[in-house]
Amino acid sequence: MKIKLKNAWLVTPAKENFTVSHTDLYIEDGVIQAEPLAQPDREIDLKDKIVMPAFTNAHHHIYSTLSKGIPCQVPFRNFMGNLKQLWWTLDRSLLKEDMLLSTAISAEESIKQGVTTVCDHHIGAYTENALSDIASVFEKYKLSGSLAFEISDRNGAEFFQRSLQENIRFAQKQQGSDISGMIGLHASFTLSQKSMAKIAEKTQNLPIHVHVAEGEIDVQKTQQNFQKGIIQRLNDFGLLRKNSLLIHCSNLAPRELESLQNKPVYLVQALDSNLNNGLNVGNIH
């Protein structure tokens, strides 16, 4: 189908600034273009609405989509209570059908909000081809992004190994694809030295997607158990790799934030998530 979009204000981002132009746009078989199309099948007057490139959601938990309105009988006294009583209980129950439904709903919600690129940090009760299952739904909805499977020690050694292998399998399979793979780490305080060393060894130079200092407990437990800060620990294992996503960074000390300035990583804030979990946000400028 050929569609003409007339009377649009086109906002085009650039590295230093952006440009704004009043123009017509055209869509042919789902591809947007500036070149006029002869005899469009449909014409839509945008009446001076703004058109701009789609957004990126740099940190998502698609598995949580079906949790909206879920009844919880136990009050959450702190962040660990929230994790143990809600999220860690939920993720251990999610099977393939649940994840396919969650992904489809999340994909539709994302598109309605103008998001077409999603970086998801996944966890569920099964690991084998789990990321490929999510990717199949992404492909149906024409979404791009990156997928990672959360690795931690909290579900035992066997699940750790399967989670690690799923990350590696998917990342290698998807090289060069619009839906890439990353190495998903839960948080520093849920990974032992042995586990971190294994991740560093087995994943070569693949970028990581990791929660960093989301709650104070991550900072406290890392310092208590490993006698160093989270950023130093990640750096010591060579995990501050190019294009890695460091999520939250809410409770990092100023010197830790400063140490990241010359690292090829991205810091991502999740304000709504922090609000819902009763957490603060990072002092990042």
For 11-63, the pLDDT digits (tens) are 998 877 889 999 999 999 888 998 999 999 999 999 999 999 999 999 999 98
For 28, the domain range is 2-51
Shared-domain flag, residues 150 and 91:
yes
SS3 content of the chain, % helix, strand, coil (to 5): 40, 25, 35
Flag whether pLDDT at 285 surpasses 80.
no
Confidence of residue 94 (pLDDT cuts 50, 70, 90): confident
Shared-domain flag, residues 61 and 176:
yes
- Distance, in Å, from the CA atom of 75 to the CA atom of 36, rounded to the nearest integer, reads 59
Shared-domain flag, residues 28 and 92:
no
Instruction: Answer yes or no: are the C-beta atoms of 209 and 183 closer than 8 Å.
Output: yes
Helices (H), the chain: 79-82, 88-91, 96-112, 130-140, 157-173, 193-202, 216-226, 230-236, 254-259, 271-276
- Distance, in Å, from the CA atom of 248 to the CA atom of 88, rounded to the nearest integer, reads 19
What angle do the packed helices 96-112 and 130-140 form, to 10 degrees? 40
Shared-domain flag, residues 7 and 59:
no
Query: How many other β-carbons are positioned within 10 Å of the β-carbon of residue 73?
Result: 5
Query: In this structure, is residue 37 part of a structural domain?
Result: yes
Query: In this structure, is residue 20 part of a structural domain?
Result: yes
Shared-domain flag, residues 47 and 82:
no
Query: In this structure, is residue 235 part of a structural domain?
Result: yes
Q: Is the pTM of this model over 0.75?
A: yes
Shared-domain flag, residues 156 and 24:
no
Query: In this structure, is residue 80 part of a structural domain?
Result: yes
What percent of the chain stands above pLDDT 90? 72
pLDDT digits (tens, 9 = 90+) for 137-169: 999 999 999 999 999 998 889 999 999 999 999
Q: For the chain, what is the largest distance between any 2 Cα atoms, rounded to a whole number of angstroms?
A: 69
What is the reported pLDDT for 276?
A: 67
pLDDT digits (tens, 9 = 90+) for 67-89: 776 766 655 666 666 666 666 66
For the ranges 166-170, 202-206, 216-220, which has the lowest average pLDDT?
216-220
Number of domains in the chain: 2
Shared-domain flag, residues 167 and 110:
yes
For 159-176, b/e burial (b = at least 16 CB within 10 A) is bbebbbebbbbbbeebee
In terms of pLDDT, which residue wins out, 16 or 105? 105
Query: In this structure, is residue 17 part of a structural domain?
Result: yes
Shared-domain flag, residues 135 and 147:
yes
CA distances from 274 to 28, 82, 124 (A): 41, 12, 22
- CATH code of the domain in which 185 resides: 3.20.20.140
